A and B are shown apart, each in its own frame.
Chain A
Amino acid sequence: MQNNVNITNSTQEFRQDFAIISGWVKFGSKVLDLGCGDGALLQFLRSGLEVKGYGVEKDDANWLACMNNGVNVIQMDLEDGLSGFECQSFDTVILSQTLQAMHNTERIVLEMLRVGREVIVTFPNFGYWRNRIQILTGNMPVSKILPYQWFDTPNVHLCTINDFDQFCKNHKISVLERKVITDGNQIDFMPNFLGNLAIYRLKANYLKAN
């Protein structure tokens, strides 16, 4: 089977971004989780926040896992965009640790902002100091959050927090909130150096945040 776009390194354990994401999702709201894997995040959000959730997943095995987990799941390839979803039809659209594996990264972010009143994006920070050390010692970084070898990785668009900030600025995307964590601990000092995982809450700029 092809490399799965959904990062599988942590599906069995409680994902460190789930807690922060759930803090940004409103009770009873309508949530779309793109690249939802086995539906663990939606299950988590539904049990705690009673969200009306839908997952999008292209992998057959993950689709079945979602169904068996009682999660509504739409099978489609995110690379094709979100044409099956109306503008501003979801309270929150989530892309959790999948951005770096997208080929058409720019398009999916803009599509999420079209469909969601708010967007949550999480990605591994390539600027994390351990990654930098591996580069300095002459190797592509391999870690728990980036578990693949250079030749078999699905991650084609890795970026740093600085890169993503610049991306948002260039695309006139409002960053409502940003949290950076390493091993579950929030990093406020030098996040692009000390942070392992970045979690953004975004909104299209033409619809200003209250």
Chain B
Amino acid sequence: MSENNNTTGSVGIVAPQTAHFNTLLTLKSGAVLPELDLVYETYGTLNADKSNAVLICHALSGTHHVAGKYTENDKYPGWWDNLVGPNKPLDTNKFFVIGLNNLGGCHGSTGPVSINPETNQQWGSQFPIVTVEDWVKSQALLADYLGIEQLAAVIGGSLGGMQALQWTIAYPERVRHALVIASAPNLTAQNIAFNEVARQAIITDPEFHGGDYYAHNVLPRRGLRIARMLGHITYLSDDAMGAKFGRKLKGDIKYSFDAEFEMESYLRYQGDKFAGEFDANTYLRMTRALDYYDPALNFDGDLSAALNKVTAKFLVVSFTSDWRFSPARSREIVKALLDNERTVSYAEVTAAHGHDAFLMPDAHYHNILRAYLNSIEVGIHHAK
């Protein structure tokens, strides 16, 4: 990559790597994983004093492929490419950025599709339930592996924001800044309800086979497809859907149950696409991790007490039209930090896109992240 390049650019062609940990990992549930692989990508250069590392935590369906492309011919870059790159808000000229696939995922990290070394079969239904706490624990192993004692920042949206928050609770000395975006300190009953409908769609698919569908050479596509369609509805706002699709029809009314409205055909497309590339067992576990996360649970519901040991500085961001992770939920995090007199800024972004807004390249939103990330001090970078 050329030096002194001031234009906003891509991180270019990237390649994933795998970190193998030949160590027992005890999960929050008590289950023990005999070994694990974590697939990750990095962008930018780790500086001499290793003070410029930023970890990106993904949400429900994210992966380690955050930015760049694998080949020039890739149709799409990584899922947060609009944020990460040279002179982008998360500037890879300044930061060493790490994306990983979480434990239990289906993109290379140890998960239900992996081989259980004790049975030499795919884990399937036997893969344990993983939690946000477990993910953060495994992410800390990855940081160790990369020789990073302290992260400059952990950043995540939605479920990723919960991981960023958990980092500051579990490893206060190992993270200087947390960027918690479109997130919440726990899920509301309504959110758990949506997750349950999604799980029931998967579990009641005749081809689910209790989670051991790999052995039957089938996939519970119908269930996963419906789960994704439901999710998509909740990630968008009514206004955004109205603006994008409205009541537009694909043609004349046919008095049928075909996808006649554009809204329907969009949902079907998204559902089919997802069902073809994501693992149902992983989806079940990701939604369960969301349900379970509740750092205040052991503090009689007192989030301020739960955040008492936190030392990181925070940026909390919410979006006005996000009804799944509403601004009010972000303000709970802000209040708990204020109660502890922690350094925190909070932005409530006026946005029409609902929960999905956190992935959009809205100019003001990106200016917020850029301003905050600019303020993070790191040592001498690009040391030769």
Contacts and interface: CB of A to CB of B under 8 A. Distances in A.
Interface of A: 30, 52, 54, 60, 63-64, 66-68, 70, 72-76, 84-86, 89
Given A60-B364, A72-B344, A76-B348, A89 B339 contact: yes
B296 interface: no
Contacts of A73: 345-346
Contact of B347 (A30, A63, A68, A89): A63
B100 interface: no
A63 B347 CA distance: 8
28 contacts: A52-B341, A54-B344, A60-B350, A60-B364, A63-B368, A64-B368, A64-B371, A66-B345, A67-B368, A67-B371, A67-B372, A67-B375, A70-B375, A72-B345, A73-B346, A74-B334, A74-B338, A74-B344, A74-B345, A76-B331, A76-B346, A76-B348, A84-B331, A84-B335, A84-B338, A85-B338, A86-B338, A89-B339
A149 to B, nearest CB: 27
A89 B371 CA distance: 28
B367 interface: yes
A29 to B, nearest CB: 11
Q: For chain B, what secondary structure do more than half of its interface residues adopt (helix, strand, loop), or is it mixed?
A: helix
Contacts of A30: 341
Contact of B371 (A68, A72, A76, A85): A68
A87 B346 CA distance: 20
B90 to A, nearest CB: 15
Given A63-B368, A67-B371, A75 B338 contact: no
Contacts of B339: 86, 89
A64 B366 CA distance: 11
B343 interface: yes
Contacts of B345: 66-67, 72-74
A207 B298 CA distance: 35
A75 B371 CA distance: 15
Interface string B324-365: 000000010011001101011111101000000000000010
Q: For chain A, what secondary structure do more than half of its interface residues adopt (helix, strand, loop), or is it mixed?
A: mixed
Nearest to A55: B345
Interface string B268-302: 00000000000000000000000000000000000
A83 B367 CA distance: 27
Contacts of B350: 60
Interface of B: 331, 334-335, 338-339, 341, 343-348, 350, 364, 367-368, 371-372, 374-375
B86 to A, nearest CB: 21
A54 B343 CA distance: 9
Nearest to A30: B341
> Which 6 pairs across A and B sit closest by C-beta, in order of nearness?
A67-B371, A74-B346, A75-B348, A84-B335, A75-B347, A73-B345
Contacts of B334: 74, 84
Nearest to A85: B338
Q: Which of A66, A68, A75 is most buried by chain B, counting CB atoms within 10 A of its CB?
A: A75
A54 B339 CA distance: 12
B362 to A, nearest CB: 11
Contacts of B344: 54, 72, 74
B368 A54 contact: no
Nearest to A58: B348
Contacts of A75: 346-348
A89 B335 CA distance: 11
Contacts of B341: 30, 52
Nearest to A74: B346
Nearest to B344: A72
B331 A64 contact: no
Contacts of B368: 63-64, 67
Q: Which of A70, A84, A86 is most buried by chain B, counting CB atoms within 10 A of its CB?
A: A84
Given A68-B371, A75-B347, 4 more contacts: A54-B344, A68-B374, A72-B345, A84-B334
Nearest to A66: B345
A85 B335 CA distance: 7
A73 B319 CA distance: 16
Nearest to B332: A84
Contacts of A66: 345
A70 B372 CA distance: 9
Contacts of A52: 341
A64 B367 contact: yes
A53 to B, nearest CB: 10
Nearest to A63: B347
Contacts of A85: 335, 338
A86 B303 CA distance: 14
Nearest to B331: A84
B77 to A, nearest CB: 27
A54 B338 CA distance: 9
Given A84-B338, A89-B338, A72 B343 contact: yes
B371 to A, nearest CB: 4
